[in-house]
Amino acid sequence: MYIIDTHAHYEDEAFDADRETLLKKIRESGIGVVVNIGSSMETTKKTLALTKKYDFIYGAAGVHPSEIEELEDESCYRELEKMAKEDKIVAIGEIGLDYHWETPDRELQKKHFEKQLELAKKVKKPVVIHSRDAAADTLEIMKGAYKQDIGGIIHCFSYGKEMAREYLNMGYYLGIGGVITFKNSKKLKEVVEYMPLSRLVLETDSPYLAPEPNRGKRNSSLNLGHVIRAIAALKQVTEQEVVDAAYENACRVYGLELGN
């Protein structure tokens, strides 16, 4: 089984200079699938274009909480739904709440988080959840009457074991990436030790959050080996066991039917 990067942003301008060369190298390096994640209407359109150009790239359609003001134009939802129904769009995301900054307004964030969750339910696709400094509100919305049957991934999981337990009990997967290699990631290491391999998916969030020893540099799927090694050491299993579990989990959550 090969490696699946469940969360990357290869449409980002950080890759403009060498995107084609890098993606070819990634494909040849044992990364079998990359799921490129939309974070605005524009990046979702670019994500869709990447899925059409590269056979190993799938995508997610959604608007990040920092960009949700554009969704005040109701026509965006019609366009988003149309893109979400494309064959290689496997999820709605990344969506959620981000309270790290003062804007956008929190009530507006919650409104469009709920509306995008409703969209996921309508098109019958899982969600990719972004939650930063917004643990209580994210969980409250996710525990709403219609949320648990959607399923999906809590991207770049950053809370503690108690919050992890809540999401695991709801059937969600936890996205683990480069932060697991950071020296100051004690809380995340405890979560990875605690969680079952059956709920783990690998991600990079490229071009962001490169693992040690490349922290601070542009990230790419080529760095996933560092993440896999760190997880294997924490779980006291082989690296291949991590890869195999993460592959099966990614296929399950995204509904991918892939050969080995």
Over the chain, what is the mean pLDDT? 96
Whether residue 61 lies inside any domain: the answer is yes
Q: Is residue 234 part of a domain?
A: yes
Q: Is residue 88 part of a domain?
A: yes
Q: What is the mean pLDDT of residues 185-208?
A: 98
Owning domain of residue 55: 4-254
Q: What is the pLDDT of residues 56-65, one digit of tens each?
A: 999 999 999 9
pLDDT digits (tens, 9 = 90+) for 135-146: 999 999 998 855
Establish if 259 belongs to a structural domain: no
Contact present, 165 and 145 (Cβ < 8 Å): no
Q: Which pLDDT belongs to residue 147?
A: 62
Number of domains in the chain: 1
User: What digits encode the pLDDT tens for the residues 59-83?
Assistant: 999 999 999 999 999 899 999 999 9
Q: Note whether residue 90 is domain-resident.
A: yes
pTM of the prediction? 0.97
Determine phi and psi for 255, rounding to 5 degrees. Answer: 70, 35
Is 235 domain-assigned?
Answer: yes
CATH of the domain at 186: 3.20.20.140
Please list, residue by residue across 64-96, b when 16 or more beta carbons sit within 10 angstroms of its beta carbon and e when fewer do: bbbbbeebeeeebbeebeebbeeebbbbbbbbb
